[in-house]
Structure 1
Amino acid sequence: MGAAVAGVLGFLLLAAAGGSAGDEAREAAAVRALLARLLGPGRAAAFSVSVERALAAESGLDTYRLSGGGAGARVRVVGSTGVAAAAGLHRYLRDFCGCHVAWSGSQLRLPEPLPAVPEELTEATPNRYRYYQNVCTHSYSFVWWDWARWEKELDWMALNGINLALAWSGQEAIWQQVYLALGLTQSEIDEYFTGPAFLAWGRMGNLHTWGGPLPPSWHLKQLYLQHRILDRMRSFGMTPVLPAFAGHVPKAITRVFPQVNVTQLGSWGHFNCSYSCSFLLAPEDPLFPIIGSLFLRELTKEFGTDHIYGADTFNEMQPPSSEPSYLASATASVYQAMVTVDPDAVWLLQGWLFQHQPQFWGPAQVSAVLGAVPRGRLLVLDLFAESQPVYIRTASFQGQPFIWCMLHNFGGNHGLFGALEAVNRGPAAARLFPNSTMVGTGMAPEGIGQNEVVYALMAELGWRKDPVADLEAWVTGFAARRYGVSHRNTEAAWRLLLRSVYNCSGEACSGHNRSPLVRRPSLKMTTTVWYNRSDVFEAWRLLLTTTPSLTTSPTFRYDLLDVTRQAAQELVSLYYGEARTAYLNKELVPLLRAAGILVYELLPSLDKVLASDSRFLLGSWLEQARTAAVSEAEAHFYEQNSRYQLTLWGPEGNILDYANKQLAGLVADYYTPRWRLFMEMLVESLVRGVPFQQHQFDQNAFQLEQTFVLSTQRYPSQPHGDTVDLAKKLFLRYYPRLVAGSL
């Protein structure tokens, strides 16, 4: 390791070196409380948990030690931090007890007695950090959460060894204080903030105003949540990342300070300047350090600090100048405002800007940003490294430390997807890169709660020096743990999924679900996928053969529904393909047949299957939003925010269907009416002998979409029907046709 690289890593390791006996006791107590929540107090008593900083004295890297168990003896878990102890506990439950902890549910049938650890097992992570979250996750997944849901997530994070994560709730309340102190009026502040479902893009300067304003109660609840989140994170020994000033300001700042030097940036995401085109304060303006330090001072006074701050000045927005001197000045100003308040500040930067606009960010521009912050004080997230790593073309970010991240999911879409081979190989390759400054691994999905196998692998890689040697064997073990029993057919099904939907490579690996099912229909939609659809259908069949023995497993029922949903998604593509071919060949009868099956059989059947599980209900999604409110007016406002995000995203369908979900109710009342209209217009076009008018369809479809968004119809938040029975019915209706090749 070169001297420069060692210096970078040494600085970042300082945070792990300290810690008092009081910290050790607090972190151990936090993990014991987690254990009691996970297993219940009785079973938790079979474990001994302690935290000893000395365990990582040599390396400074999180380490855990497992021993004991068997013949009535307690299992002893020792960690260098609370997070390390929780990760060690998870390792024992996973590898010794065959248990499984996931978003969709857990399988925690412990053997009696608890298995012994044959030889004392000590494991150290190869990197300083295991990072979690994307700025967008706060809007696509966390936005309506209460403390009970946050507590579950924080437990999941600790068990998966996460020790660095964003903690961005409540920041708008602090910004409101700052803007009021600067002389803005409350109405000007209200006009600036976006609604709750769009705050992520307000925080990165992409949007303002859209979906707002924020009610006063929002600020109070988010402040309360942020305090609880930070307290729990710190009790585990995690490092919370707080927000910092990136340079974006409300337009109203020009009223209070008429001489201020601001630049209006270009529009973003097909929005016009009513909601986009943010104002960026010039780095040399004397107001820049005042606002930046004022915000951070108020923020840290309220929440304390762990010295790492996130800010994104040019996320998906082209800077006003490509001159390296300007870019260096803008970057230095953000950093200087941090260290003015906190001399130990480290800036966490999402490296997405370099990946998203490579034509702008040439070598000189990248160097200007990376060189404007002292080496070791800029921690870069290589956000989409499993698909498009930036560290390779920037010489390991020119000596700045970076975290190899898996982004995986865009918009919180449903759809089986993953690039497990690339994920498996990526961290080790980055670690071995010449003069690598890699200091961690990360999971940075825009939305969570899907494709849990991908996240299980990525979390495990945070503690491995080398890739998993045999992914087929690994996924076989994953299936056995997930359902609590080894079963030949479930394991075969997962191996088929591994070689198909989870084996994405190349340009297809965008992470977006581009299925025609969840897109506004047109004659130009692609139905091409990177895998053999027959593998998905065969996995579906294999899972259904195991239902007699696994119907009591919540994780199995979830997976059966998810694979059934995927099979239906594939069928939509096939029937759409038939309808399009029939239309182009001017064959009315085949068009009517394919259209009838798709609109009147397949989509209603899919909606019924989804309705059998609360995790796939539009009603559950909207109820989260309504429950966050303190009045009926607020509940309606929050629900509309949520409906917009799922569908139109903006007032005119600005980022249409980006955050698509396959939820009961959404399929029935949003996707199906759109498909019905499309097929009706195709038939009418053929009957009348006139060309299909896509523009007219888009206008008519927008009316349907807007009607759905503005509707006040309530949807069930409790499941209805039996997943297994409904999946079987759908299978028996369509699988024989697939086998016969006669859809």
Structure 2
Amino acid sequence: MKQLLFSLFVACAVPLCSFASAGEWKILEPREAAPAYGHAAREFRKFYRAVTGRELEIVREAEAGVPLVVIGSDCVNRFTRDAVERGLIEPLDLGAGSDAYRIVSARDGERDLLFLAGGNGRATLYAVYDFFERQAGCRYFWDGDVIPPGDSIPMSGLDIREEPHFYYRGLRYFAHRSLSRFQAEHWGPAEWEREIDWMLKKRLNLFMLRIGMDDVFQKAFPGIVPYPPADSMLPEAKPRSFYDRTTAWPLAYRGELRRHVLHYAAERDLIHPEDMGTMTHWYSCTPQAFLDSIRPTFCPQSGGAYVGDPCNAVWDIRDDRNLDNYWRLTQTHIDAYGSPQMFHTIGIAEREVFASRPENLEMKLYAYRRIINKLREHYPTAPVLIASWDFYLPGWRDYEIRRLLDQLDPTRTIILDYTSDLPSNESNTDFTNWGVVGRFPYTFGIFHAYEWENDLRGYYDLIAERLPVAAADPMCRGFVFWPETSHSDPLIMEFFTHNAWNPDTMHPEELLPEFCRSRYGEHAAAMERAWRAVLPLAERCTELPLVFRDIRETASSKPDSAALAGYRRSLEQVAPQLEQLPGIMAALAEVPYGAGNAFVDRDAIDLARTLMGRLYTVAWYRYLLAQQAWEQGAAPAAEVRRWGSDARTLLTALRDVLNLHDDYSMQASLRQIEAVRAPINPAFEQALKGNAENSYCRSYISELFDYYYLPEFEHYRREIERELQSPSRRLTYDAERMEMQSIVDAFYEKPLDEMRPLNPCPRTREEFRRQIGTLAARLQRM
């Protein structure tokens, strides 16, 4: 059930028009049409009831003289066709199967008509949601709807046509696990239904589940791969890592959940590409039982993190048997869950097959050709998305990408680029240099964030530079948002959904006034001031990364002169933003957290934690630079202690502000998972910890601050303090003394339900202001 947040809505003066009345209007649903049209009728009834408190009847036969809300174009609703032929409305001119839609008012004698028509089922749903946005002031966010109450809704005088600029507009959900807000693997049926409904409200049409294989191996190879035990660790799990894929719910239930999610999406006409080819990458592990029985051969690999790990290795597709087994997984997923509407492959992503670059390229080109050729044996005309991650990491050069393009069919292939917002790296340029612009179909995509980067962030300037190129190029077929973490930044999500439909806003800050009015209501002005104050530092995610997560790694290897020089450069680059710190803290202190608006409460913590995370990095860099200066005789020990104290203050402040919201608690996430009606694997808690604590995934997690980061910091600071007593003025970073494995072990040994906040705080406006004010006073010298 969606959270309905009612807010006061001040409307502009509305011209005289007819208004809906529960005793007059009815909703005319097509008699025979795809399920999406029935959903459109029910959604109109639901939102009308939510706004006015009155119920409209859904009918399939028009009654004489009764005003009607007519669902569907003349292709699916005979009443609409008759209205065109009688001249009540002009031809709708909606392309067959297109995402264009019309909202048209008409009169038929003494009765009013309202037509909500799309080129397909999902477009008709777009029309319904757009109607309530325009006429009733409704607004849609991933975490709830704003539905202003009203006695009536204007229904006449409308003639609206909408058509998307980009054909494909999509999202990806990735396979990490720790906090339910950010990780789709934690979501049950209710969360997924809300998410899919939100996609449609924001006029998206494509999504992808990259959340593991679920039980596809068990279905594809039933006599070979059994379902794993539901009460112990997965046989191939790697403890204390993101490769512990032990599931919370039994794998058979996860299969049922996948079926429900994809069926729910398909009924609403969303596109879900089918994975094919070399799918045993990352979090789509090969079960040990399959390895033991089938014994696949593996693709050569010259180096990298996946060497020697058969569960995460790519089978050698030069072997027909391996290619056939990969296809068997794809076809099984289609038969059990999906649809052969569209396909997706990652090729041999992130793997370096041969040490020789030319040989490596040739193998990767061969893999794409072989995978696509296998597809064409079964589905000759289906479109294929070629994921671009391998282009970016480890990186293809522009001429290598052009060689690939020369081997692909542009009539049936699209380059799924989702790194359009990332800076060019040493071996890779951005999409404008690949030879796709004006030549080959591709998507513009925002990667936005790795798993650990769940704060407010974005390469906004790069987006503003590159999006106009894609928007002006007819070969750019889509706009996708493809991060490793979901729901991390509500502003960038609004920016994406806005521009995916009509790319006319090149910088997220341009949307702030309307975003704040829509989301925060009476608190809009205070929230906009806070957003504008924090964003300049939030955008400095390159210069000020999340180093609180890497205390143990720093302690194990003393920063060298090159690293320290980089820290100094970063501090110089952010100096203008730091000069604004008093104003930033003042704006944040005025945020009305605790005033009863759930959107404000969530976003207040996002703004505060992002700011504190950036400032912690500043203090940490200065702490390390002060250590170097002390060793060189250029600073007293007191200077080192000062910055160590400031870093600890910020780390503690981060801990305290995170405790003001359940979004950052693993224990709260576990309770949400347990609320789904499926048994919980008792081994999952350790898997959850391992998925959260490993060096790749650590982030803003309450339990990590109290029982991991702060103990590590105190250990580190004690050792630095001890070495500051040395007359030699040399910090040794002694490996034995800096060892922190006992802290890690204690984290895993302590049950989550015993990891209570060590500084519990009331979730009140006064407490939020106190925390910000106390921190501001401590940071006056920063």
What TM-score bracket applies, with the shorter chain setting the length?
A: 0.7 to 0.9
Amino acid at match of 1:87: Y
1:641 matches 2:690: no
Amino acid at match of 1:619: Q
TM-aligned CA distance change 1:195 to 1:225, over 3 Å: farther
Q: Of 181, 186, 194, which residue of structure 2 is paired with 1:152?
A: 194
Amino acid at match of 1:386: D
1:245-282 Cα shifts (integer Å, max 9, x gaps): 32757788787668x7643424544x662467724313
What secondary structure sits across from 1:608 in the alignment? helix
2:105/2:112 contact within 8 Å kept: yes
**Counterparts of 1:266 and 1:624 in 2: how far apart (Å)?**
42
Amino acid at match of 2:186: W
The Cα shift of 1:661 comes to: 2.5
What secondary structure sits across from 1:692 in the alignment? coil
**Counterparts of 1:469 and 1:294 in 2: how far apart (Å)?**
43
**Counterparts of 2:580 and 2:134 in 1: how far apart (Å)?**
29
What secondary structure sits across from 2:169 in the alignment? strand
Q: Of 72, 78, 94, which residue of structure 2 is paired with 1:51?
A: 72
1:608-635 Cα shifts (integer Å, max 9, x gaps): 3322222232322343455679666x23
In the TM superposition, what are the counterparts of 1:534-573 in structure 2 within 5 Å? Answer: 534-535=579-580, 538-545=583-590, 547=592, 551-573=595-617
1:321-349 Cα shifts (integer Å, max 9, x gaps): 74465433321221222233333333222
Amino acid at match of 2:393: H
Partner of 1:623: 671
1:388-413 Cα shifts (integer Å, max 9, x gaps): 57432221179442111111111052
**Counterparts of 1:141 and 1:381 in 2: how far apart (Å)?**
22
Q: Of 705, 708, 716, which residue of structure 2 is paired with 1:678?
A: 716
Amino acid at match of 1:670: Y
The Cα shift of 1:573 comes to: 3.1
Amino acid at match of 1:587: P
- After superposing the two structures, state which structure 1 stretch, 119-128 or 249-258, moved more: 249-258
TM-aligned CA distance change 1:301 to 1:628, over 3 Å: same
Amino acid at match of 1:301: D
Partner of 1:352: 389
TM-aligned CA distance change 1:516 to 1:160, over 3 Å: same
Question: Could you say what the CA RMSD is over the residues aligned between the two structures, in angstroms?
Answer: 4.0
TM-aligned CA distance change 1:353 to 1:198, over 3 Å: farther
2:262/2:338 contact within 8 Å kept: no
**Counterparts of 1:165 and 1:196 in 2: how far apart (Å)?**
30
Amino acid at match of 1:568: M
1:85 matches 2:127: no
1:549-590 Cα shifts (integer Å, max 9, x gaps): x82221112222222223322442344345445443363444
Partner of 1:653: none
What secondary structure sits across from 1:162 in the alignment? coil
- After superposing the two structures, state which structure 1 stretch, 582-591 or 725-734, moved more: 582-591
1:402/1:439 contact within 8 Å kept: yes
Partner of 1:223: 255
Amino acid at match of 2:320: P
Amino acid at match of 2:348: F
1:196/1:212 contact within 8 Å kept: no
Larger Rg: 2
* Aligned-pair identity (%): 14
Amino acid at match of 2:549: V
1:532 matches 2:577: yes
**Counterparts of 1:332 and 1:123 in 2: how far apart (Å)?**
38
What secondary structure sits across from 2:351 in the alignment? coil
Partner of 1:732: 773
**Counterparts of 1:264 and 1:611 in 2: how far apart (Å)?**
47
**Counterparts of 2:611 and 2:221 in 1: how far apart (Å)?**
51
Q: Of 289, 301, 304, which residue of structure 1 is paired with 2:335?
A: 301
TM-aligned CA distance change 1:104 to 1:517, over 3 Å: farther
**Counterparts of 2:131 and 2:407 in 1: how far apart (Å)?**
44
Partner of 2:522: 485
Q: Of 661, 668, 671, which residue of structure 2 is paired with 1:613?
A: 661
**Counterparts of 2:311 and 2:265 in 1: how far apart (Å)?**
34
1:123 matches 2:162: yes
Q: How does the TM-score come out when normalised to structure 1?
A: 0.80
TM-aligned CA distance change 1:418 to 1:346, over 3 Å: same
**Counterparts of 2:198 and 2:610 in 1: how far apart (Å)?**
26
Instruction: Give 5+ residue unaligned stretches, structure 1.
Output: 1-19, 200-209, 649-655
The Cα shift of 1:286 comes to: 2.5
- After superposing the two structures, state which structure 1 stretch, 513-522 or 247-256, moved more: 247-256
The Cα shift of 1:383 comes to: 1.0
1:625/1:639 contact within 8 Å kept: no
The Cα shift of 1:146 comes to: 1.0
The Cα shift of 1:309 comes to: 2.0
In the TM superposition, what are the counterparts of 1:189-588 in structure 2 within 5 Å? Answer: 210-212=243-245, 218-246=250-278, 248=280, 262-269=298-305, 273-274=308-309, 278-283=313-318, 285-320=319-354, 322-323=358-359, 325-358=362-395, 361-362=396-397, 365-388=400-423, 390-396=430-436, 399-424=439-464, 426-433=466-473, 436-464=474-502, 466-468=503-505, 473-485=510-522, 487-502=524-539, 514-520=545-551, 522=554, 524=559, 526=567, 528=571, 532-535=577-580, 538-545=583-590, 547=592, 551-583=595-627, 584-585=629-630, 587-588=636-637
1:435-488 Cα shifts (integer Å, max 9, x gaps): x52111111111012211001011011111x42278655311111111113754
Partner of 2:704: 666
**Counterparts of 1:124 and 1:44 in 2: how far apart (Å)?**
31
1:479/1:491 contact within 8 Å kept: yes
**Counterparts of 1:694 and 1:56 in 2: how far apart (Å)?**
72
Partner of 1:14: none
TM-aligned CA distance change 1:267 to 1:620, over 3 Å: farther
Partner of 2:726: 688
What secondary structure sits across from 1:310 in the alignment? strand
**Counterparts of 2:218 and 2:320 in 1: how far apart (Å)?**
21
1:26 matches 2:35: yes
TM-aligned CA distance change 1:29 to 1:371, over 3 Å: same
Q: How many residues align?
A: 681
1:163 matches 2:168: no
The Cα shift of 1:296 comes to: 2.9
1:57-78 Cα shifts (integer Å, max 9, x gaps): 4485311233569xx9997643
**Counterparts of 1:329 and 1:340 in 2: how far apart (Å)?**
17
**Counterparts of 1:462 and 1:168 in 2: how far apart (Å)?**
21
Amino acid at match of 2:599: T
**Counterparts of 2:94 and 2:113 in 1: how far apart (Å)?**
26
The Cα shift of 1:176 comes to: 2.7
**Counterparts of 2:104 and 2:610 in 1: how far apart (Å)?**
42
1:310-368 Cα shifts (integer Å, max 9, x gaps): 2223221113374465433321221222233333333222111011123xx34564345
**Counterparts of 2:259 and 2:330 in 1: how far apart (Å)?**
16
Q: How does the TM-score come out when normalised to structure 2?
A: 0.76
2:99/2:119 contact within 8 Å kept: yes
1:168/1:242 contact within 8 Å kept: no
**Counterparts of 1:119 and 1:112 in 2: how far apart (Å)?**
19
TM-aligned CA distance change 1:450 to 1:299, over 3 Å: closer
1:125/1:463 contact within 8 Å kept: yes
